[in-house]
Structure 1
Amino acid sequence: MSEFVVTKRRMIEARWEAVVSRADGAAIEEPPKLAAVLDGKQLLGLTFQRGEEGAWEMGVPIPAEAIADGIRTIVILDAETDDCLASISLLSGDALDEDLRVEVNLLRQELDMLKRAFRRHCVET
């Protein structure tokens, strides 16, 4: 298990920003060894700056190849343990419309099923 915790701050101008701290709250003396991976390839350009209270500010540039129809995910890994610490999901394009419609339809069906079960439970008790 990784000793690091990654907490997202924001995404702005094709740059994902987060704070990296230790799980036990101790200060991190050197920049953490983390990697950002998209489709099995490590992304370049991660930046680290010393932050407050022993944490580090991390910046991950979002490459153009990460932007495409559908859902794309960049995974932030501890380079030493390969533990997944965070993920960046990018959703866009025509394929997304279909995905969302299907998901909303499934949610409606599940809600209807729960309503029927709840009503049946109320009648029985």
Structure 2
Amino acid sequence: MADLTLTKTRIHAGHYEGVLTAPAGHDPELGAFLNEQPVGELVLTPDPDAAATWNVVLSLPPDILTDGIQTFLLVDQASNTTLDSFTVITGEPLDDDLRGEIDLLRAELDMLKKAFRRHCVETS
């Protein structure tokens, strides 16, 4: 298994951009997936200034972006290893949005901590 490293540089104008480093002499084979289905046009261009480094650009087709949360995976096809992932949230804010759930869990945890501390004081 090759030691590949993919570092996202930015997502801009519907394109994921990153830098891939691999061992010398290794030609990487990357795939981009959404719900286990290949998506977009993935282009790897060797970096002329750095050996064993490629610039990665994934063009996201607009027809796959729908209301809700989509998580994209960038995978090394040879080893079936996920190198990077990113999430796109579109549409109206969801009632069960993950950020809202985390805020609710934090509030409940604070309430439980206070009740536990009060219980410890009362029983000692």
TM-score (norm 2): 0.77
Ranges of 4+ aligned residues in structure 1 off by more than 6 Å: none
Structure 2 distance, partners of 1:60, 1:116, is 50
Long gaps (5+) in structure 1: none
DSSP 3-state at the match of 1:102: helix
* Aligned match for 2:55, one of 26, 51, 57: 57
1:39 alignment counterpart: 35
User: For residue 11 of structure 2, what is the amino acid of its counterpart?
Assistant: M
Structure 2 distance, partners of 1:114, 1:9, is 40
Query: How many percent identity over aligned positions?
Result: 26
Long gaps (5+) in structure 2: none
2:20 alignment counterpart: 20
Asked if the contact 2:40/2:60 (under 8 Å) is kept, the reply is: no
Structure 2 distance, partners of 1:108, 1:89, is 25
Query: When you count helix as a share of all residues, which structure comes out higher?
Result: 1
